[in-house]
Amino acid sequence: MERLGGRGRLGMGRRWRDGRGRLIVHGSPPVTVPLELATSYRARTKGLLGRDSVEGALLLSPAGSIHTFRMRFPIDVAYLDHSLRVLAVVTMPPGRLGLPRLRSRHVLESAAGTMAGWGLRAGVRVEVEVEVEEETATAAE
């Protein structure tokens, strides 16, 4: 995976920016997945629309529900709480409206069937490792 500079980990309560990173699924053994972050209104609205596939996963934040209208392929959807613990995982075909999840703060999307292979299920905690741009990393030093 190409790095834009250094990497940074953001904890609870912090807001991410649109970009790339890695999703770490805590399990035995831990699984690392390429990740796109969609945190701006524009990026969350677009999501996976117009794509034929997704490499790894897409994290929508903040988000409590999603839809698959105008999507070209079925997806796995994981609803995450504020501490990045999985509340539920569902598979959605195109043209559906997902039910809002009460405690959901983030939504993770990937191609249908992939999340089970990563060991992602209700109760599992994940971690987001984001790539930060070089000038941001040097400004923080």
Q: Is 118 helix (H, G, I), strand (E, B) or coil?
A: helix
Burial label, 8 (beta-carbon count in 10 A; 0-12, 13-18, 19+)? middle
Predicted pLDDT of residue 113: 94
pLDDT per position in the chain (141 positions), as tens? Answer: 322 223 344 444 456 889 999 999 998 899 999 999 999 999 888 877 777 778 899 999 999 888 888 888 999 999 999 999 999 999 999 989 888 888 999 999 999 999 999 999 999 999 999 987 654 444 444
In this structure, what token pair is assigned to residue 132? 């930060």
Predicted pLDDT of residue 99: 86
Which is it for the CA torsion 121, 95, 16, 64, positive or negative? negative
Are residues 92 and 77 in contact, defined by beta-carbon separation less than 8 angstroms?
Answer: yes
d(CA 11, CA 82): 10
Predicted pLDDT of residue 65: 85
Q: pTM for the complete prediction? A: 0.80
Predicted pLDDT of residue 30: 93
